Amino acid sequence: MQGDNDQLASFWMPFTANRSYKAHPRQLVSASGMYYRSSDGREILDGTAGLWCSNAGHCRPEITEAIAKAAATLDFAPTFQLGHPLPFELAQRLAALMPEGLDRIFFTNSGSESVDTALKIALAIQRAKGQGARTRLIGRERGYHGTGFGGITVGGLVNNRRVFSTLSGADHLRHTHDLTRNAFTRGFPQHGAELADDLQRLVDLHGAETIAAVIVEPMAGSTGVLVPPVGYLQRLREICDRNGIILIFDEVITAFGRVGAATAAEAWGVIPDIITMAKGLTNAAVPMGAVAVKRELHDAVLDSVAGGIELFHGYTYSGHPLASAAGLATLDLYARDGLFDRANDLAACWEDAAHSLKGRRHVIDIRTIGLVAGIELEPRRGAPTARAMELFHAAFDDGLLVRATGDIIALSPPLIVEKDQIDEMFGKLGELLNAIE
Ligand SMILES: Cc1ncc(COP(=O)(O)O)c(C=O)c1O
Q: What is the pTM of this model?
A: 0.98
Last residue of a domain, one of 307, 336, 365: 336
Residue 359: phi, psi to the nearest 5? 95, -15
Last residue of a domain, one of 336, 365, 396: 336
In a shared domain, residues 27 and 108: no
Residue 183: phi, psi to the nearest 5? -60, 145
Please indicate, yes or no, if residue 20 is contained in any of the structural domains.
yes
In a shared domain, residues 153 and 289: yes
Residue 425 is predicted with a pLDDT of 98
User: Is the CB of 146 inside a 6 Å radius of any atom of ligand 1?
Assistant: yes
In a shared domain, residues 49 and 184: no
How far apart are the CA of 112 and the centre of ligand 1, in A?
Answer: 6
Please indicate, yes or no, if residue 102 is contained in any of the structural domains.
yes
In a shared domain, residues 41 and 69: no
274 in Cβ contact with 246 (< 8 Å): yes
Last residue of a domain, one of 313, 336, 359: 336
Q: Mean pLDDT in runs of 10 for the chain (437 residues)?
A: 71 97 96 98 98 98 98 98 97 98 98 98 98 98 98 97 95 98 98 98 98 98 98 98 99 98 98 99 98 98 96 98 99 98 97 98 98 98 96 98 98 98 98 96
The answer to whether the Cα torsion of 195, 151, 114, 112 is positive or negative is negative
CATH number of the CATH domain containing 213? 3.40.640.10
Residue 380 is predicted with a pLDDT of 95
In a shared domain, residues 164 and 295: yes
Which residue minimizes the CA distance to atom 3 of ligand 1?
Answer: 145
* Structural element, H or E, at residue 286: none
How far apart are the CA of 330 and the centre of ligand 1, in A?
Answer: 19
In a shared domain, residues 71 and 14: no
CATH number of the CATH domain containing 359? 3.90.1150.10
- Kindly give the number of the ligand 1 atom that is closest to the alpha carbon of 51: 14
Distance, in Å, from the CA atom of 367 to the CA atom of 364, rounded to the nearest integer, reads 10
In a shared domain, residues 46 and 160: no
Please indicate, yes or no, if residue 1 is contained in any of the structural domains.
no
User: Is the CB of 372 inside a 6 Å radius of any atom of ligand 1?
Assistant: no
Which residue, 224, 238, 134, 135, is CA-closest to 196?
238
In a shared domain, residues 295 and 347: no
Print burial letters for 174-202: b (CB count within 10 Å at least 16), e (below 16).
ebbbeeeebeebbebbeebbebbbbbbeb
User: Is the CB of 145 inside a 6 Å radius of any atom of ligand 1?
Assistant: yes
How far apart are the CA of 308 and the centre of ligand 1, in A?
Answer: 32
Distance, in Å, from the CA atom of 279 to the CA atom of 254, rounded to the nearest integer, reads 10
User: Is the CB of 432 inside a 6 Å radius of any atom of ligand 1?
Assistant: no
Q: Give the mutation target among 116, 144, 259, 283 for probing the ligand 1 site: most ligand atoms within 8 A of CB.
A: 144
In a shared domain, residues 212 and 313: yes
In a shared domain, residues 92 and 137: yes
In a shared domain, residues 144 and 217: yes
User: Is the CB of 116 inside a 6 Å radius of any atom of ligand 1?
Assistant: no
Please indicate, yes or no, if residue 187 is contained in any of the structural domains.
yes
Residue 207 is predicted with a pLDDT of 98
Distance, in Å, from the CA atom of 110 to the CA atom of 279, rounded to the nearest integer, reads 7
In a shared domain, residues 313 and 366: no
Residue 2 is predicted with a pLDDT of 47
Residue 5 is predicted with a pLDDT of 59
Residue range(s) defining the domain that contains residue 176: 65-336
How many domains, the chain? 2
